[in-house]
Amino acid sequence: MNSTKYIALNIPSSLADSTVKSRRSLWRWWNQLSRFQRSLFYVGFTSILLMLIYFWPVLEQRRDNISKIALESTPAMQQLPEESALKAAAAEPFGANKVEQQGEAAYDAENEIKQPAAANEAQQVEEPISQKAVRFKGPKNERQKAVAAAMQHAWKGYKKYAWGHDHLKPLSGAYHDWFYLGLTIVDSIDTLYIMNLKKEYLEAKDWVEKSLRFDKNRDVNLFEVTIRVLGGMLSAYHLTGDKIFLGKAMDLGERLLPCFDSPSGVPFSDVNLGNHKAHSPKWSPDSSTSEVTTIQLEFRDLTYSTGDSRFEEAVNKVSEHIHVLPKTEGLVPIFINANTGQFRVFSTITLGARGDSYYEYLLKQWIQTGKKIEYLREDYIEAIQGVQKLLVKRTSKSGLLFIGELQSGARDFKPKMDHLTCYLPGTLALGVHNGMPQDHMKLAEDLLWTCYQTYAQTPTFLAPEITYFQIQDANAADMYIKTNDAHNLLRPEFIESLWYMYQFTGNKTYQDWGWTIFQAFEKYTKVTNGYTSINNVKAPANVKPKDMMESFFLSETLKYFYLLFSDNPKLIDLDEYVFNSEAHPLPISKG
């Protein structure tokens, strides 16, 4: 039998009485009003009702905005993006709401392949006129597919064990932080986009949007953060057209500016992003020469992109200052003091660590600014002459050309070459393409061959960090590797040079060299959860993994492999873009 149960409530009679009483008194009050008074009431009530209906959408909008601002000012968590949302977004074509610019769209147009029409014209109108998305269609051949798969493998391990941190430690399944800025993500974004890895790209973008914060009480290195983070954000902005990246670049640029408040204008090496205090490195009163001269492309691009002239002014001042300092045949010592603005006497001259990208950015700044700043061209030409005169030597046995170092204030020559120096053939080829002296190409080809030998002559087919060359004994081997220099950090410089040389010569041998080296990376550095630096390229049976995957492996090494293996010579057009020192492409000024 159904039975309904009730609970008895005893309402105090005083309360019940008072409710009834107040209703009655309201009715009595209404009845006592005159007809005129009641009409006035009706008019007032109806007007309020009409106003409410009219202004309701405005009130709603304001309420939305307030909650949005509140959300934005809530500290973001290191969160992984929603899988389902990302999958749905990844199904959309890149740049569907943007105007195509070049990249593969231009290549397909030349080759009469039809592109789907750009969708959603209404949204196109809202895009800034100067900013168009470049569209990439993904790997086209087996080698490119293998590189894209390597990128996905590296990304997967990073996502699983180091998400939001700077670097992955792939063996221990842990992470490493340096600046606490998610370096691997910000460095990878344009590579993911160029490879058309949509899901991964959207994961990265989502993290940047929700979790990348610069208001941290942390010291960072101006150069490293500029080439990796500022460069990464700017190139992502230029390729995708997404203003999220520009907003981040502006915020960061502002926080880096205090570095330039030194007595000489030469920047201090470090700055606290939270309290904006800049200072020299803890271990020395000096900044590295390559560091203070390898920030110009990025800061200038920030000015071009925002219209705020402070960024370009700061770095122009540095370049102009260094231009007038005394040098050795155009070559610079590797340390400079931010207070005095002078080079450290007796410091080494090298195209390797701490010197390398000074020479690279002389040329690239000249290209970026539309070949208008004459002193940059002159300084570059003088420096390459200085390299040929003072640093280039050949081995006794096979005549291999290499670039050594001058130590003790340009007095002692050391037949030692860092792998970092192998960026030079690419830069020389880029220079010749832009009208620099033709004999630079011969130097580029000879040095490229030697760099290739630093790979080919090890049993792993991977180059060591540093190689020594034999210049006194014609019977001894051309090169030797000291035990402490036998590590390989997954660096990009040689692959970078192969790409430039292939771009400007069309010689497919360079692709084949690259492919052999890519396979060596696969064999000796690939592990279950990513790729690892190794300690010994001389011991194939035990390469001694270092348990570290640097962000430049994804930003540079894999990107240059992918570009090198492309069938499309204009996948990224070197007449439109100049690559920064971390492989982030930035537009060349046409103004």
Angle at CA of residue 284, ends 278 and 285, nearest 5°: 60
26-44 core/surface letters (b: 16 or more CB in 10 A; e: else): eeeeeeeeeeeeeeeeeee
Q: Return d(Cα 486, Cα 537) in angstroms, integer.
A: 6
Exactly one of 582, 584, 587, 588 binds ligand DMJ (CB under 6 A); that residue is 582
Strand partners, 416: 468
Which residue lies nearer to ligand DMJ by CB, 118 or 150?
Answer: 150
- Give least dist CB 121 to ligand DMJ, A: 40
Which residue lies nearer to ligand DMJ by CB, 357 or 470?
Answer: 357
Structure tokens at 229: 């983070």
Structure tokens at 74: 């809530």
End-to-end CA distance of the chain: 90
State yes or no: is 496 an active-site residue.
no
- Give least dist CB 462 to ligand DMJ, A: 14
Q: Which pairs count as long-range contacts for 541-545, CB under 8 Å and 24+ apart, including other chains?
A: 543/460, 545/171
- Give least dist CB 97 to ligand DMJ, A: 33
Which residue lies nearer to ligand DMJ by CB, 463 or 543?
Answer: 463
- Give least dist CB 185 to ligand DMJ, A: 16
- Among left, alpha and beta (phi > 0; psi -120 to 50; other), residue 547 is left
Query: Residue with structure tokens 């942390």?
Result: 218
Which residue lies nearer to ligand DMJ by CB, 133 or 420?
Answer: 420
Q: Return d(Cα 424, Cα 444) in angstroms, integer.
A: 7
Which residue lies nearer to ligand DMJ by CB, 368 or 470?
Answer: 368
Q: Which of 187, 219, 298, 356 is catalytic?
A: 356
* Residues 555-574 as x/- pattern, contact with ligand DMJ by CB under 6 A: -x------------------
Q: Return d(Cα 91, Cα 77) in angstroms, integer.
A: 26
Which residue lies nearer to ligand DMJ by CB, 552 or 562?
Answer: 552
Which residue lies nearer to ligand DMJ by CB, 503 or 581?
Answer: 581
- Per CB under 6 A, 552 contacts ligand DMJ: yes
State yes or no: is 219 an active-site residue.
no
Q: Which of 418, 465, 478, 496 is catalytic?
A: 465
Which residue lies nearer to ligand DMJ by CB, 105 or 189?
Answer: 189
Report yes or no: 160 and 151 within 8 Å, Cβ to Cβ.
no
Closest-approach residue to ligand DMJ (CB): 581
* Residues 404-443 as x/- pattern, contact with ligand DMJ by CB under 6 A: ----------------x-----------------------
Strand partners, 549: 168
Classify 163 as helix, strand or coil: coil
State yes or no: is 286 an active-site residue.
no
Q: Which of 270, 301, 478, 493 is catalytic?
A: 493
Which residue lies nearer to ligand DMJ by CB, 298 or 573?
Answer: 298
Report yes or no: 228 and 551 within 8 Å, Cβ to Cβ.
yes
The DSSP symbol for 166 reads S
State yes or no: is 121 an active-site residue.
no
Please tell me the count of residues contacting ligand DMJ according to CB under 6 A. Answer: 8
CA-based radius of gyration for the chain: 31
- Give least dist CB 446 to ligand DMJ, A: 22
Q: Count other C-beta atoms under 10 Å from residue 243's C-beta.
A: 14
Structure tokens at 340: 């005095």
- Give least dist CB 385 to ligand DMJ, A: 23
Q: Where are the alpha helices (DSSP H) in 293-355?
A: 296-306, 310-324
319-345 core/surface letters (b: 16 or more CB in 10 A; e: else): beebeeeebebbbbbbbbbbeebebbe
- Give least dist CB 491 to ligand DMJ, A: 4
- Per CB under 6 A, 581 contacts ligand DMJ: yes
Report yes or no: 79 and 210 within 8 Å, Cβ to Cβ.
yes
- Give least dist CB 548 to ligand DMJ, A: 13
Q: Which of 200, 224, 286, 573 is catalytic?
A: 224
* Binding residues for ligand DMJ restricted to 119-158, rule: CB under 6 A: none
Q: Return d(Cα 344, Cα 532) in angstroms, integer.
A: 36
Q: Return d(Cα 197, Cα 209) in angstroms, integer.
A: 18
Exactly one of 296, 357, 503, 535 binds ligand DMJ (CB under 6 A); that residue is 357
- Per CB under 6 A, 166 contacts ligand DMJ: no
* Residues 481-510 as x/- pattern, contact with ligand DMJ by CB under 6 A: ----------xx------------------
Q: Which amino acid is at 551?
A: S
Which residue lies nearer to ligand DMJ by CB, 327 or 559?
Answer: 559
- Give least dist CB 574 to ligand DMJ, A: 17
Spatial neighbors of 455 by CB under 8 A, at least 6 apart, are 461, 462, 463, 494, 513, 517, 520
Strand partners, 530: 527
- Give least dist CB 517 to ligand DMJ, A: 15
Report yes or no: 416 and 466 within 8 Å, Cβ to Cβ.
yes
Angle at CA of residue 125, ends 119 and 131, nearest 5°: 90
The continuous run of DSSP H or E covering 286 comes out as: strand 286-288
Q: Which residues bind ligand DMJ (CB under 6 A)?
A: 357, 420, 491-492, 552, 556, 581-582
Active-site positions read: 224, 356, 465, 493
